[in-house]
Amino acid sequence: MAISYDEVEVGTELPAQSFPVTRDTLVRYAGASGDFNPIHWNEKFALEVGLPDVIAHGMFTMAEAIRVVTDWVGDPAAVVEYGVRFTRPVPVPNDGVGAVIEVSGKVAKLLDDRKVQVDLLATTGGQKVLGMSKAVVRLA
Amino acid sequence: MALDPSFIGRTYPPTEPYEVGREKIREFAVAVGDQNPAYNDPEAAKALGHPDVIAPPTFPFVITYRAAAQVVEDPELGLDFSRVVHGDQKFAYTRPVRAGDRLSVTVTIDNIKSLAGNDVLTVRGEVTDATGEHVVTSVMTLVARAADEAGE
């Protein structure tokens, strides 16, 4: 059920999740989002512009990271602010396995009006891919 | 060449309304692997107090990114889009985007600065519904990497 403001404190951890991403995922996301930049699906193009491989859309990574919050609170409308910095790309090799984005989050601040700030940590292969990744969430 | 800072504060005309469809939201939710019923089941969304299915928190970028094309493709500004990367992204929501919304975006250039030869452009999109009520503000930073010598 809905998470109550009274049940959380600074340091409360949200259930961490792992999100797999393959080339197939990126093609679907390109279609759904309308971002058809070839660095997200064309390996030859990605290498030519100096990337290590095809990379995931930053907005895809941002979409996965907030799921740790929306799955926790239930109603996605509880998210009143959400921001990230794209610090490092997520390379997605064409090996049938792809990459995994690991996301954890914890309550960093208690705010007024039954809101909390959740700080998110997103990594792939042990390296941080989002910086300053924060959401303000209104709890029950 | 650095971008002209006199463009700071420039606001572009509101975009034509984008009509948000249930199937588009469903497609987006599937693409990000998110099975939250608020995105695909109107009854589940209503149980949470929403009039129809709502969109995931990053969905508004679909609309604001399209609107930002006015800036990116403004010939007077002269941004080299082949060198642009998305630096950061923020959303501040008054309410979630929902099916049936007709959304317009008013885009403003909030800042232009030069950092280590890179042009850093802050673009804000104010998203409003058909009644003019605010839905979400999107603020994105676009970084145009400095041209290397071979590219000049």
Domain ranges, ordered by start, for chain A: 5-138
pLDDT digits (tens, 9 = 90+) for B11-64: 999 999 999 999 999 999 999 999 999 999 999 999 999 999 999 999 999 999
Q: Which two tokens stand for residue B77?
A: 């500004």
Given this model, what pLDDT does residue B120 score?
A: 94
Q: Choose among B121, B124, B118: nearest CA to B90.
A: B124
Whether A24 and chain B come into contact, CB under 8 Å, resolves to no
Contacts of residue A66 in chain B, CB cutoff 8 Å? 56-58
Percent of chain A with pLDDT over 70: 99
Contacts of residue B125 in chain A, CB cutoff 8 Å? none
Q: Which of B28, B66, B87 sits opposite A86 (nearest CB)?
A: B87
Checking phi first, is residue A22 left (phi over 0); if not, alpha (psi -120 to 50) or beta?
beta
CA closest to A25 among chain B residues: B31
Q: Which two tokens stand for residue A27?
A: 């093609």
pLDDT at B149 over 50: no
Q: Which two tokens stand for residue B88?
A: 């950061």
pLDDT at B91 over 50: yes
Which of A18, A36, A59 best probes binding to B when mutated, by most B CB atoms within 10 angstroms? A59
pLDDT digits (tens, 9 = 90+) for B110-135: 999 998 889 999 999 999 999 999 99
Given this model, what pLDDT does residue B151 score?
A: 41
CA distance B24 to B97: 12
SS3 B16: coil
CA distance A91 to A19: 14
Given this model, what pLDDT does residue B81 score?
A: 81
A residues 79-118 lying closer than 8 A (beta carbon) to B: 79-86
Higher pLDDT, B11 or A49: B11
pLDDT at B82 over 90: no
Higher pLDDT, B152 or A125: A125
Given this model, what pLDDT does residue B148 score?
A: 62
CA distance A75 to A104: 19
Q: How far off is chain A from B39, nearest CA to CA, in Å?
A: 9
| Cβ contacts from A onto B, under 8 A | 99
Contacts of residue A34 in chain B, CB cutoff 8 Å? 62, 65-66
Residue type, B80: D
What ranges in B7-128 are assigned the alpha helix state H?
A: 22-31, 42-47, 60-72
pLDDT at A34 over 50: yes
Question: In sequence order, which residues have a C-beta less than 8 Å from that of residue B105 and are 6 or more positions away?
Answer: B14, B15, B18, B63, B64, B66, B67, B125, B126, B127, B138
Q: Quick check: ipTM above 0.90? A: yes
pLDDT at B152 over 80: no
CA distance A64 to A68: 8
Q: State the average pLDDT over residues A116-139.
A: 98
Question: Cα–Cα distances in Å, from B127 out to A81, A104, B27, B48, B138?
Answer: 14, 30, 21, 23, 8
What ranges in chain A are assigned the alpha helix state H?
A: 23-33, 43-48, 58-65, 67-73
CA distance B54 to B95: 10
Contacts of residue B47 in chain A, CB cutoff 8 Å? none
CA distance B123 to B143: 11
Please report where in the chains the tokens 């959401």 appear, as a residue.
A135
Task: Name the DSSP class of A135.
Answer: E
Q: State the average pLDDT over residues A13-33.
A: 98
Given this model, what pLDDT does residue B1 score?
A: 61
The reply to whether residue B65 touches residue A32, judged by beta carbons under 8 angstroms, is no
Q: Supply angle C-alpha B120, B126, B128, rounded to 5.
A: 160
Whether A51 and chain B come into contact, CB under 8 Å, resolves to no
Whether A74 and chain B come into contact, CB under 8 Å, resolves to yes
pLDDT at A122 over 90: yes
SS3 A21: strand
pLDDT at B107 over 50: yes
The reply to whether residue A84 touches residue B66, judged by beta carbons under 8 angstroms, is no
Q: B125 with B106: CB under 8 angstroms? A: yes
Total residues belonging to chain B: 152
pLDDT at B96 over 70: yes
Alpha carbon B51 to its chain centroid, in Å, reads 23
User: Mean pLDDT across chain A, nearest whole number?
Assistant: 97
CA distance B25 to A26: 17
Domains and CATH numbers, chain B: 5-20+58-144 (3.10.129.10)
Q: B110 with B86: CB under 8 angstroms? A: no
Given this model, what pLDDT does residue B150 score?
A: 43
Q: Which CATH architecture has domain A5-138?
A: Roll (3.10)
Q: State the average pLDDT over residues B87-91.
A: 97
